[in-house]
Structure 1
Amino acid sequence: MKIRLCICLIIFGISTFIAQGIDKEKLLEYYESQRYADAAQYLQSIYPEDTKDIKALTQMAYCHMMSGKLQEAEKNYIKVNAAEPNNIPVLFSLANINSRRGNGTKAKTYLLNIIQLDSLNFNAYRQLAGFGDTPEARLAYLKKANILNRTDPDVAYDLSTAYRELKRYQQAYDVLKTAIDADEGNFTLQLAKLPLANQLGKYKEVIETGEKLMKEKADPNVINEMGQAYFYLKEYQKCAAVFKTLEDLGIQNEGTLYYMALSYRELKEYDKATEYAKKTIEEGISNHTALYYTALGGIYEQKEQFSNALEAYKRGLTFKNSNTIYYRLGLLYDFNLKQPRNAITYYNLYLKNKPDQDKEKEQIEYSRARITALTSKI
C-alpha cells in the first residue's frame, strides 16, 4: 500500500514536469522499476545545478535517498526546507537521512521540529524514542507514542521492554495486553508477555498462552516460561518433563536444571533430585571462573593484601587445576608469606601439572631453581 501511494504521488509530481520537456513515460518507468539512481541522473540532466524549482528538488532528493546517495539527498532536502520551512514530510526525510548516516543529534533535531509543529505526531514520538539520551527520556517518548496509538505493536513492545527494565512489570504487562487485544495473532507480543505474566503470578495464563504458541513453533523461551509456571502451580511432574525437553535439545541452563532438581525433590525422587542438583552446580560454574580468581588474587597481591590473595588463588583451584595459580601460589609463599615448605609444594604442583615446555620455559626453569634453593635452606 505504501509503495502504491508513493508511486501515485510521484506520478502526480511528474505531471508538473511536462512543461519542462521531461519524458513522463521514461521517468515513470524508472520509478516503477525502482531505478532511482537513473531517475535522479535524468532529472539532473534537465535541471541546472542551482535550480530553485521546489518540485524538482524534492523529486531529486527522493531519488537520491532511495538510491542510497544520502549526502546528495540531504543537500536537496535542505534546499527545499530553506525555501519551504516547516514542511513535515521534508523534515521526516532529513531525520531519516541523518539517522541512516549515524548523525543522531541532527536526526533528533528534525524530529523535535516536527513535534513543535504537530504535537500529536505519532511517528515523530516513535522515532524520537530511539534517540532518547536517558532511559527516562526514551520512556517518555514511548509513553507519548503509545497514548497516541495504543495498538501499534512496535511501540507497545518497546514500551513494555522499557517498563520491564525498570521492573515495572504490571505496566509492561498492561501495555502488551492492550496491543494483543487488538491483534491476538501477534505471537511476538504474546511471547513478550509470557515472562511478565510469570512475574505477576499469572501462571495459568502462561500455560494457556504457551500451549497456543507451541502449536506454531517449539520455542525454547516458551518452554522455559511454561516450566516455571508448572513449578509454581505445583505441577512438578509436568515441570520436570517440560524442562527435560530442553535438556534433550542440549539447551539447558543453570535455571532449568535448578527447577528440575526442586521438582524431583518435591516428587520425592531423591536420586534424580541429587543428580540435577549436581548438574545445576556444574552448569553454574564458568570455564573462566579460575581465571577470574587468578586476576583477583593478582589484584590483592598488588595491594599487598597477601592473605586475601592466598584465599582468592585457593578458591580458584576449587574450580580448576591451573598452572598459573600453582605458580602464583609458589611465588606468594616464597617471597611474601616466607613459607618455603609451602612454596616448594606449589612449585612442584606447577611442574607436575605439565606446563607447556615452550611457552612457559622461563617459569619452569625458575620453579626448578627455587625448589633447589629453598630445599637447601630447610
Structure 2
Amino acid sequence: MKFWLSVSLLIINISHLTAQLIDKEKLLEYYESQQYAEAAQYLQSLYPEDTKDTKVLTQMAYCNMMSGKLPEAEKNYVKVNAIEPNNIPVLFSLANINSRRGNAPKAKKFLLEIIQLDSLNFSAYKKLAGFGDTAEAKLIYLKKANALNTTDPDVAYDLSIVYRELKQYQQAYDILQKAIDADDGNLTLQQAQLPIANQLGKYREVIETGKKLTRENTDVNVINEMGQAYFYLKEYQSCIAIFKTLEDLGIQNEGTLYYMALSYRELKEYDKAANYARKTIDEGISGHTALYYTTLGGIYENKNQFSEAQEAYKRGLTFNNSSAIYYRLGLLCDFNLKQTRNAVSYYNLYLKNKPDPEKEKEQIDYAKARISLLTNQKGAAIK
C-alpha cells in the first residue's frame, strides 16, 4: 500500500517536472519497478549539475535516497533547502538521511528547525525523542508528541517506558491505558502495562490480562508478571504452578525460583522451600565467578600482594573447584608464601581434580615434581 502511494505521489511530481527532454513514461517505468538508481542517473543526464529547478532536484534527491546513495541525496536536498528554505518535507528528508548515516546532532538540528516552523508537528516531536540522551530529555519530546496524539501506540509505549524508568508508575499506566482504550487488540501495549500494574498493586488485573495474553502466545515475561501477582495475592499454589511451567521448559531464573521458595515457605513445605532456595542461590551465581576471582588473584600477585591473592583464590574455590585455582595456590604457597605443607596440599588437590592430561601435561608433570621434591625436603629436615 505504501509503495503504490509513493508511486502515485511520484507520478504527480513527474507531471510537474519541466517538460524539457523528459521521457515521462520511461521515468514512470523506473519508479514502478523501483529502479531508483537508474531514475536518478536518467534525471542527472538531462539536467546540468548546477540546475536550480527544485522539482527536478527533489526528484533526484528522492531517487538517490531510495537507492541508498545518501551523500548524493543529501547534496540534492541541501540545494533545494538553500533555494526554498523552511520546506518541512525537505527538512524531514535531511533529518532522515543524517539519522541513517549516524549523524544524530545534524538530524536533531533539522528536526528542531521543523518544530520552530510548526510547533504542533507530531512526527518531529516523535523523532526528536529518539535522540534524547537521558530519560528526562526523551520525556520532554514524548510528552509533547503524546499530547498531540494520545492514541499513537509507539509514542505511548516509549513514554510509558520512560515513566517506568523514572518510577512514575501511575503516569506510565495511564498513558498506556488511553492507547489501549483506542486499540484493545494491541497486545504489545497490554504486555507493557503488566509490570506497571504489578507495581501499582493491580494484581487481579495482571492475572486476567495475563491469561488473555497467554492464550495468544506463551511469553516468559507475561508468566513472570502473573506469578508475582499470584504471590502478592497469597495464592501460593497458583504462583508455584505457573512458575513450574517455566522450570519445566528450562527457562527459570533467579527471580522465579525465589518466588517458588517463598511460596513453599508460606505453605510450610519447608523441604521444598529449602530446595528452591538452594536453586535460587545456584541460579544467582555466575558460572564465571571462579574465573573472575582467579583473575583478581593474579592481579594481586602481580602487585606482590600475596596474602590478598591467596584470599581471592580461596574465595574463587567457594564457587567452583577449579583445578586452575588449586594449581595457582600451589605455586603461590610454594614460592611466595613459603608454605611448604600448603603448597603440597594444593598440588595434590590440583591432581585429584583431574586436569586435562593433554592440555595440562606440563603443569601436571611440574606439580608431581614439586610434590616429590618438597616432600623429600621435608623428610630430610625432620631427620
Pairwise TM-score range, normalised by the shorter structure: over 0.9
Deviation at 1:85, TM superposition (A): 1.1
Q: Residue 205 of structure 2 aligns with which residue?
A: 205
Deviation at 1:70, TM superposition (A): 1.3
Q: Is contact 1:122–1:148 with CA below 8 Å preserved after alignment?
A: yes
Q: Residue 217 of structure 2 aligns with which residue?
A: 217
Q: Residue 368 of structure 2 aligns with which residue?
A: 368
Deviation at 1:3, TM superposition (A): 4.2
Q: Which moved more, 1:50-59 or 1:107-116?
A: 107-116
Q: Residue 248 of structure 2 aligns with which residue?
A: 248
Whole-angstrom CA distance in 1 between matches of 2:241 and 2:134: 43
Deviation at 1:213, TM superposition (A): 0.9
SS in 1 for 2:19: helix
The Cα offsets for residues 48-97 of structure 1, whole Å up to 9 and x where unpaired, read as 23221110110111111112121211111111111111111101101111
Q: Is contact 1:18–1:24 with CA below 8 Å preserved after alignment?
A: no
Read off the aligned partner of 1:233 and give its amino acid letter: L
Q: Residue 70 of structure 2 aligns with which residue?
A: 70
Read off the aligned partner of 1:123 and give its amino acid letter: S
Q: Residue 115 of structure 2 aligns with which residue?
A: 115
SS in 2 for 1:20: coil
Deviation at 1:305, TM superposition (A): 4.3
Deviation at 1:312, TM superposition (A): 2.5
Q: Which moved more, 1:318-327 or 1:160-169?
A: 160-169
SS in 2 for 1:221: helix
In the comparison of the two structures, how many residue pairs are matched? 378
Q: Residue 338 of structure 1 aligns with which residue?
A: 338
Whole-angstrom CA distance in 2 between matches of 1:25 and 1:83: 28
Q: Which moved more, 1:107-116 or 1:328-337?
A: 328-337
Q: Which runs of 5+ in 1 are unaligned?
A: none
Deviation at 1:18, TM superposition (A): 6.0
Deviation at 1:304, TM superposition (A): 4.4
Read off the aligned partner of 1:13 and give its amino acid letter: N
Q: Residue 381 of structure 2 aligns with which residue?
A: none
The Cα offsets for residues 177-222 of structure 1, whole Å up to 9 and x where unpaired, read as 2222222211111111111111221111101111111121121211
SS in 2 for 1:338: coil
Q: Is contact 2:14–2:24 with CA below 8 Å preserved after alignment?
A: yes
Q: Residue 183 of structure 1 aligns with which residue?
A: 183
Q: Residue 134 of structure 1 aligns with which residue?
A: 134
CA RMSD of aligned residues (A): 2.1
Q: Residue 58 of structure 1 aligns with which residue?
A: 58
Q: Is contact 1:96–1:107 with CA below 8 Å preserved after alignment?
A: yes
Whole-angstrom CA distance in 1 between matches of 2:196 and 2:337: 53
Whole-angstrom CA distance in 1 between matches of 2:50 and 2:376: 92
Deviation at 1:238, TM superposition (A): 0.8
Q: Which moved more, 1:156-165 or 1:200-209?
A: 156-165
Q: Residue 325 of structure 2 aligns with which residue?
A: 325
Whole-angstrom CA distance in 1 between matches of 2:229 and 2:264: 16
Q: Is contact 2:135–2:166 with CA below 8 Å preserved after alignment?
A: no
Deviation at 1:2, TM superposition (A): 4.7
Q: Residue 16 of structure 1 aligns with which residue?
A: 16
Deviation at 1:4, TM superposition (A): 4.7
Q: Residue 268 of structure 2 aligns with which residue?
A: 268
SS in 2 for 1:139: helix
Q: Which moved more, 1:347-356 or 1:190-199?
A: 347-356
Q: Which moved more, 1:232-241 or 1:160-169?
A: 160-169
Read off the aligned partner of 2:217 and give its amino acid letter: K
SS in 2 for 1:91: helix
Q: Which runs of 5+ in 2 are unaligned?
A: 379-383
Q: Which moved more, 1:297-306 or 1:260-269?
A: 297-306
Q: CA 1:126–1:232 in 2, change beyond 3 Å: closer, same or farther?
A: same
Q: Which moved more, 1:227-236 or 1:98-107?
A: 98-107
Whole-angstrom CA distance in 1 between matches of 2:24 and 2:84: 26
TM-score of the two chains, using structure 2 as the length reference:
0.91
The Cα offsets for residues 127-172 of structure 1, whole Å up to 9 and x where unpaired, read as 1222223343223222222222222111121122222223333332
Whole-angstrom CA distance in 2 between matches of 1:134 and 1:247: 37
Q: CA 1:231–1:2 in 2, change beyond 3 Å: closer, same or farther?
A: same
Whole-angstrom CA distance in 2 between matches of 1:263 and 1:135: 36
TM-score of the two chains, using structure 1 as the length reference:
0.92
SS in 1 for 2:313: helix
Q: Residue 87 of structure 1 aligns with which residue?
A: 87
Whole-angstrom CA distance in 1 between matches of 2:300 and 2:233: 47
Q: Which moved more, 1:15-24 or 1:58-67?
A: 15-24
Q: Residue 239 of structure 2 aligns with which residue?
A: 239
Whole-angstrom CA distance in 1 between matches of 2:32 and 2:154: 29
Q: Which moved more, 1:43-52 or 1:57-66?
A: 43-52
What is the correspondence of 1:256-295 to structure 2 with a 5 Å cutoff? 256-295=256-295
The Cα offsets for residues 15-39 of structure 1, whole Å up to 9 and x where unpaired, read as 1236324233332232233222232
Q: Which moved more, 1:70-79 or 1:265-274?
A: 265-274
